[in-house]
Amino acid sequence: MLAVLTGCVAEPAPDVLIGLRNPTVAFGGTSRFDRDRFAGAWQTVACLGSCTRSEEYRAASGGVYLRRTREAETAYEISAPGVLREMGGEDTLVVMWVDEGFRTAAIGDAEGRWAAILNRSRKPAGDRIRAATEILDFNGWDVSKLRVVK
């Protein structure tokens, strides 16, 4: 009997590195995502990791969706609602939430390196910021590290 039990000893679970986002929590894009309504200028009002102060999205020809920051313009394809995969690269952006008026959004990269709460202006409504923060938390992000971007 002891020999049988000895063979059943479980291996210790591998350590999971939890940085800005817990990788064991599944997350995905919002079904509310609409490429035309999401297009336009956004201001980063809160951030985890390294974020830009502002960014702009626009639809281009051939199904290409462009993200422009001060540093670069990157082409993406929309592979699922709210999921943007870099064309010719490894980056995947996930729009986890956007309010009904497309004024505030929660977005992050699939690798867990950064996440941001975006707003159409620098003066967001508190209820939408709370909602975006709750969505980030629900999707495994460490919202205790969220910082305001001015």
**pLDDT tens, position by position, 13-28:** 444 455 799 999 998 9
Q: Are residues 35 and 65 in contact, defined by beta-carbon separation less than 8 angstroms?
A: yes
Structure confidence by residue, pLDDT tens digits, 69-121: 998 999 999 999 999 999 999 999 999 999 999 999 999 999 999 999 999 99
How do beta strands 64-68 and 54-59 pair?
A: antiparallel
- Its pTM stands at 0.85
Place domain 26-148 in its CATH homologous superfamily. Answer: Calycin beta-barrel core domain (2.40.128.20)
Contacts of 102 (CB under 8 A, 6+ apart): 34, 37, 38, 120
For 54, 99, 103, 115, 144, the CA distances from 127, given in Å and listed in that order, are 21, 10, 12, 19, 18
DSSP label at 21? B
Please state, in angstroms and rounded to a whole number, the distance separating the CA atoms of residues 131 and 38: 18
